[in-house]
C-alpha cells in the first residue's frame, strides 16, 4: 500500500504544478520575472567553432567571477590582449556572463574589476537562477537587486546602469527587490528615479508583488509615493487580491486606507472570495464585517471558506462552524434560502447540499458526505470554469485512489474531465493533464494488479477516456487559433498513443464486441490524419522511442509493435512520410537499440526497405548495431520492381511522362 500512496501523491503534485504553471489564477504571475511557456529559454548555444582551449579559458573566467576569486581572475586576465579579454568577459556559460554571476553572488570587487579593467558591457543581459526558477534576459543590475546586494546596486547605478531596464518578461530591478523584501535597495532605486509603475508582462506591479509577498514596509513606502492602488493585472487581479491570497491583513487595511476598491478579477473573484478560497479566516472575518459587504457575499464567503477547510486544511469542525454561521445568516430576515440544485451528480454519490441546520449537524458524523458537500459548494459558487473547481475534484479522486478505491477516483476524474472539456478552450493544458493522469493511473493499476483477475481494469474506462481524448484532438484540429505552435496538439497525440498501448495490453482478454468498438475508435483517429511534431503520423509515433517520454512517470514503452499493428489494421498508411521524408520504417530503424519485432511488423504490412528519405538514406542503411540480415531476410522484401526503380533513379534515366503516373510516384520514393 505504501507504494500506492507514494505514487498518487506524486500524481497529485504533478497536478498541482500543472495548475499553478498554467491555468491557475495565482503564482504564475508572481514569479520574479517568469514568462512561462517553454519557448523562452533563449540560451546561447555553445559556439561549435570555439577551440577547446578557448572553452576552458572561458570557464576559468566564469568560475572565478561566480566564486569571487578576484586574484585568480587577475592572474589569468592581466597579461591577455584587450580583444581576448573582451571575448572572455562577454561569453555566456549556461546563458550567464561572468558579470551576471558576480552580481548574482554579491562579489563587488570582481564586479568593479570586470567593468573597469575588462571594460565589460554594463547592460549585457543573461539568464540567472533564483530558487530553481530561471530568469531570462536579466540585466546585471536586476540580478544584484534580486539577490539583495545593495553595494553592487549602488555601484552599478553610479556607473550608469539603467534603473528601468527589464528582463525579457518585463520585470524591473525594482520589482525584483520588492519580491524578496530588500527595502534599502527599493529606496535606493526609487531615489535614482526608478519607475514604480512598470508592471511585468502579466501586468503585475511592484505594489502587487509586495502585497503578495507580505512586505509591509515596502508596500507602505510605495503607497506613500502614490503608487496606483487600483491597478489591475492582465487577469484582472488587484493588490487587494494579492493580500487576500497571501493572508496579509495588515497590508490590506493599509490599501483600503489608501482608497483601494473591491473589484472582481477575470474569474469573477472578489478579494473576499479569494481569501475564502485560500482559507484565510482572519481576512474573511475582517471583510465580511465591513459595511459594503452584502448578505449574499457574506454567505458565499463563509460557505467557500468551509469548503476550503474540508479540502485544504482537513479541519471538519472548523468547516461545520463556518457553514453553520452561513446557514444561520440564510435564515435571518430577509431569508435567503440555498438555490435549488440542478441534477444530481453520480460522481458525488448523488449527494445534495444540506438546506437546514439539522441536516448540517448530521453531516459531521459522515466525513465522506462532508467532502462531497465541499465539492458541491465550490462548484455552485465558483462555477465550472474556475480552475479550483475541477482541481479539487481531481484532488479528491486521487485521495480515493490512494486508499485503493480506483472506481471512485475514475468517476470523479471523469466528471472533472467532462467539466474541463465543456468550459475550457480545446487542448487546454489543464485538460491534457487530466488525460495524462488517467494514463498514469491505468498504467499503475495494470502493473500493480498483474496478479489480480484481469477484469479489475475495466475496458470501458480506458475506452471512454480514449474517446474523449480523440474528441479533444478533433476540436483542437478544427480550432487552429487555440494552439499556435501546435505543441499542445502533438502532446495530446502522444498521450493518446499511450492510451492505445494500454488498450493493446487488454486485447487478449477483450470480448469480440469490445475489440470491435476499440478498433472503431482507432479507425476514427487514423481517419482524422493527425500530424504531430516533425510531421509524424500516429504510425511514426508508434515506431519512435521518443514517444515513451510523456510525463514524469512511466506509462508505456515505445516503439510498440502492437500499437503499430493495431494502427495498420485499421488502415494507417505504412508508407506515410514525415517532414524529413522518413517512413515509419526509417523511424523504427533509427531507434537505438533497434527493436526487430517492430521492423518485422512494418515489413509484413508492406513497408519498403529501400525507400529513400530526404538525405537519400534507406531504412536498411539506418539500422545499426545489427545487420538487417539478423532481423529479416531482405531478399523476401526486395522486389524486382524496387530494384529497377532504384536503378532508374541512380542512373538518372528519364521516365517522366513515359510511364503511368502511379509508377512515377513509385520511382520517386526510391
Ligand X SMILES: *[C@@H]1O[C@H](CO)[C@@H](O)[C@H](O)[C@H]1NC(C)=O
Interface with ligand X by CB under 6 A: which residues? 162-164, 193, 195, 652, 654
> Between 450 and 656, whose beta carbon lies closer to ligand X?
656
Residues 6 or more apart whose Cβ sits within 8 Å of residue 256: 240
> Between 156 and 497, whose beta carbon lies closer to ligand X?
156
> Between 513 and 652, whose beta carbon lies closer to ligand X?
652
Closest residue to ligand X using C-beta atoms: 195
The least CB distance from residue 159 to ligand X, in Å, is 13
Burial string for 264-297 (b: 16+ CB within 10 Å, else e) reads ebebebbbbbbbbbbbbbebbebbbeeeebeeeb
The least CB distance from residue 163 to ligand X, in Å, is 5
| Phi-psi sector, 459: left (phi>0), alpha (psi -120 to 50), beta | alpha
CB 146 within 8 A of CB 130: yes
The least CB distance from residue 195 to ligand X, in Å, is 3
Q: Which helix (H) or strand (E) holds 594?
A: none
> Between 592 and 650, whose beta carbon lies closer to ligand X?
650
Give the SS3 label for residue 129: strand
> Between 78 and 193, whose beta carbon lies closer to ligand X?
193
The least CB distance from residue 82 to ligand X, in Å, is 29
> Between 131 and 193, whose beta carbon lies closer to ligand X?
193
> Between 174 and 301, whose beta carbon lies closer to ligand X?
174
The least CB distance from residue 259 to ligand X, in Å, is 22
C-alpha cell at 292: 459594503
The least CB distance from residue 294 to ligand X, in Å, is 40
> Between 321 and 644, whose beta carbon lies closer to ligand X?
644
C-alpha cell at 507: 486485447
Alpha-carbon distance of 529 to 256, in angstroms, equals 57
C-alpha cell at 527: 481517419
The number of angstroms, rounded, from the C-alpha of 536 to the middle of its chain's C-alpha atoms is 23
C-beta atoms surrounding 521 within 10 Å? 19
> Between 195 and 407, whose beta carbon lies closer to ligand X?
195
Calculate the alpha carbon distances from 315 to 237, 275, 396 in Å: 29, 17, 15
Alpha-carbon distance of 135 to 145, in angstroms, equals 13
C-alpha cell at 169: 518578461
> Between 190 and 496, whose beta carbon lies closer to ligand X?
190
Look-up: residue for cell 492510451?
Answer: 499
DSSP strand pairing (133-138 vs 126-130): antiparallel
Alpha-carbon distance of 57 to 65, in angstroms, equals 12
C-alpha cell at 30: 508572481
The least CB distance from residue 124 to ligand X, in Å, is 18
Phi and psi at residue 599, to the nearest 5°: -60, -45
Alpha-carbon distance of 98 to 662, in angstroms, equals 62
> Between 193 and 358, whose beta carbon lies closer to ligand X?
193
The least CB distance from residue 101 to ligand X, in Å, is 25
Alpha-carbon distance of 353 to 341, in angstroms, equals 8
Alpha-carbon distance of 515 to 56, in angstroms, equals 61
The least CB distance from residue 179 to ligand X, in Å, is 19
The least CB distance from residue 512 to ligand X, in Å, is 56
The least CB distance from residue 162 to ligand X, in Å, is 5
C-alpha cell at 197: 509603475
Amino acid at each position: 500500500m505504501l507504494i500506492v500512496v507514494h505514487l498518487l501523491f506524486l500524481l497529485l503534485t504533478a497536478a498541482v504544478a500543472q495548475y499553478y504553471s498554467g491555468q491557475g489564477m495565482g503564482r504564475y504571475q508572481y514569479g520574479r520575472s517568469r514568462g512561462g511557456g517553454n519557448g523562452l529559454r533563449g540560451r546561447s548555444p555553445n559556439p561549435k567553432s570555439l577551440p577547446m582551449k578557448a572553452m576552458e579559458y572561458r570557464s576559468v573566467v566564469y568560475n572565478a567571477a561566480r566564486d569571487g576569486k578576484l586574484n585568480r581572475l587577475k592572474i589569468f586576465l592581466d597579461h591577455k590582449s584587450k580583444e581576448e579579454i573582451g571575448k572572455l568577459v562577454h561569453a555566456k556559460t549556461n546563458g550567464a556572463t561572468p558579470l551576471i554571476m558576480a552580481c548574482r553572488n554579491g562579489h563587488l570587487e570582481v564586479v568593479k574589476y570586470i567593468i573597469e579593467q575588462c571594460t565589460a558591457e554594463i547592460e549585457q543581459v543573461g539568464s540567472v537562477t533564483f530558487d530553481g526558477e530561471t530568469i531570462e534576459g536579466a540585466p546585471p543590475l536586476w540580478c544584484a537587486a534580486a539577490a539583495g546586494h545593495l553595494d553592487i546596486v549602488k555601484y552599478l547605478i553610479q556607473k550608469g546602469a539603467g534603473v528601468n531596464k527589464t528582463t525579457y518578461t518585463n520585470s524591473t530591478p525594482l520589482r525584483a527587490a520588492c519580491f524578496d523584501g530588500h527595502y534599502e535597495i527599493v529606496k535606493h532605486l526609487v531615489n535614482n528615479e526608478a519607475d514604480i509603475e512598470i508592471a511585468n508582462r502579466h501586468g503585475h506591479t511592484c505594489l502587487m508583488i509586495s502585497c503578495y509577498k507580505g512586505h509591509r514596509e515596502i508596500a507602505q513606502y510605495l503607497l506613500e509615493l502614490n503608487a496606483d492602488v487600483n491597478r489591475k493585472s492582465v487577469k484582472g487581479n488587484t493588490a487587494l487580491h494579492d493580500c487576500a491570497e497571501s493572508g496579509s491583513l495588515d497590508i490590506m487595511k493599509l490599501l483600503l486606507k489608501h482608497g483601494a476598491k473591491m473589484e472582481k478579477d477575470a474569474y469573477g473573484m472578489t478579494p473576499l472570495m479569494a481569501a475564502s478560497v485560500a482559507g484565510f479566516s482572519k481576512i474573511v472575518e475582517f471583510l465580511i464585517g465591513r459595511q459594503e459587504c452584502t448578505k449574499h457575499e457574506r454567505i458565499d464567503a463563509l460557505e467557500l471558506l468551509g469548503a476550503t477547510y474540508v479540502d485544504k486544511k482537513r479541519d471538519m469542525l472548523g468547516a461545520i462552524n463556518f457553514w453553520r454561521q452561513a446557514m444561520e445568516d440564510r435564515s435571518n430576515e430577509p431569508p435567503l434560502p440555498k438555490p435549488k440544485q440542478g441534477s444530481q451528480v453520480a460522481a458525488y454519490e448523488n449527494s445534495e447540499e444540506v438546506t437546514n441546520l439539522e441536516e448540517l449537524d448530521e453531516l459531521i458524523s459522515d466525513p465522506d458526505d462532508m467532502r462531497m458537500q465541499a465539492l458541491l459548494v465550490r462548484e455552485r459558487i465558483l462555477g465550472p470554469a474556475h480552475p479550483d473547481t475541477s482541481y479539487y475534484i481531481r484532488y479528491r479522486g486521487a485521495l480515493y485512489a490512494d486508499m485503493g478505491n480506483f472506481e471512485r477516483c475514475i468517476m470523479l476524474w471523469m466528471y472533472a474531465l467532462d467539466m474541463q472539456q465543456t468550459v475550457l478552450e480545446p487542448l487546454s493544458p489543464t485538460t491534457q493533464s487530466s488525460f495524462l493522469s488517467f494514463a498514469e493511473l491505468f498504467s499503475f493499476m495494470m502493473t500493480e494488479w498483474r496478479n489480480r483477475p484481469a477484469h479489475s481494469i475495466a475496458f470501458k474506462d480506458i475506452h471512454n477516456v480514449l474517446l474523449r481524448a480523440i474528441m479533444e484532438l478533433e476540436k483542437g484540429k478544427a480550432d487552429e487559433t487555440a494552439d499556435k505552435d501546435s505543441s499542445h496538439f502533438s502532446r495530446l497525440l502522444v498521450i493518446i498513443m499511450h492510451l492505445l498501448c494500454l488498450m493493446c495490453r487488454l486485447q487478449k482478454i477483450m470480448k469480440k464486441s469490445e475489440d470491435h468498438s476499440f478498433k472503431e475508435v482507432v479507425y476514427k483517429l487514423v481517419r482524422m490524419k493527425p500530424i504531430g511534431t516533425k510531421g509524424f503520423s500516429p504510425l511514426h509515433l508508434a515506431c519512435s522511442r521518443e514517444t515513451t517520454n510523456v510525463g514524469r512517470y512511466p506509462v508505456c514503452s515505445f516503439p510498440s509493435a502492437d500499437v503499430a499493428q493495431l494502427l495498420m489494421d485499421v488502415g494507417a498508411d505504412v508508407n506515410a512520410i514525415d517532414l524529413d521524408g522518413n517512413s515509419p520504417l526509417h523511424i523504427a530503424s533509427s531507434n537505438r537499440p533497434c527493436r526487430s519485432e517492430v521492423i518485422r511488423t512494418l515489413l509484413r504490412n508492406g513497408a519498403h526497405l529501400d525507400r529513400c528519405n530526404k538525405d537519400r538514406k534507406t531504412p536498411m542503411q539506418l539500422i545499426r548495431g545489427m545487420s538487417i540480415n539478423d532481423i529479416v531476410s531482405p531478399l523476401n522484401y526486395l522486389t524486382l520492381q524496387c530494384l529497377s526503380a532504384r536503378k532508374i533513379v541512380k542512373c538518372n534515366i528519364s521516365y517522366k511522362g513515359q510511364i503511368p503516373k502511379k509508377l512515377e510516384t513509385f520511382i520517386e520514393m526510391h
